[in-house]
Amino acid sequence: MDAKVETELVSDRRMSRTILLVEDDRAVRRYMEILLQRAGFSVVAAADGLEAMKLALSTKFDLVITDAIMPQLNGYELCRFLRRHPHLARVPIVLLSGAERNGDESIKPDAYLTKPVQPEQLSACLAKLIEGASDV
C-alpha cells in the first residue's frame, strides 16, 4: 500500500476515535490532550481514576490512556475495573508510568509506556492499537 494512502487511512480512523485521557498532573494532561488533538483524536479528559470511571460509564470512547499512579483510583485499579466491565472489557488501554511495571497479572493493558513518553512513541502505539481494533 502507498505510504500516503496508508497515512490517510490511519488519519481517517483517528478522526473518528475518542480517547479517554486520565492524568492527575494538569500540565501533563493538557500537553497530552493537545498532542492527541493535533494527531486528529477527540479527547475526553479526567483528572483521576474515579472521574475516569464515572466518564467510562456515561461517555462513549474508543481507547483509554491512563497514568498509573494517581489519587482516588489509580490507573491499575481503573484498568482492572474496565477489564471486568462487560461493555468496556475490550476497549484498548495504554498505561503510562514513570515507575516500573506492576507485576499484577490481573491487570492487562494493551500497551505499557514509560514516562516521559515521546510523541512518536505514543503515536506509533496508538496507530498499532487502532489497526488492531479495526481488524476485530
State pLDDT tens for residues 58-108: 999 999 999 999 988 999 999 999 999 999 999 999 999 887 665 566 678
At the fourth CATH level, the homologous superfamily of domain 3-135 is: Response regulator (3.40.50.2300)
As a whole number of angstroms, the distance between CA 93 and CA 29 comes to 16
pLDDT at res. 7: 45
Q: 61: which 3 cell numbers? A: 470512547
What average pLDDT does the chain have?
85
Q: Which residue has the higher pLDDT, 128 or 105?
A: 128
pLDDT > 80? residue 116: yes
pLDDT at res. 108: 80
Contact 132, 92 (CB under 8 A): yes
pLDDT > 50? residue 114: yes
pLDDT at res. 16: 74
For the chain, the structural domain boundaries read 3-135
Pair type for strands 63-67 and 18-22:
parallel
Contact 123, 36 (CB under 8 A): no
- Read off the pTM: 0.83
As a whole number of angstroms, the distance between CA 98 and CA 42 comes to 25
As a whole number of angstroms, the distance between CA 57 and CA 71 comes to 19
The residue behind cell 496508538 is: 126
CA atoms within 13 A on the CB side of 120: 0
Contact 20, 44 (CB under 8 A): yes
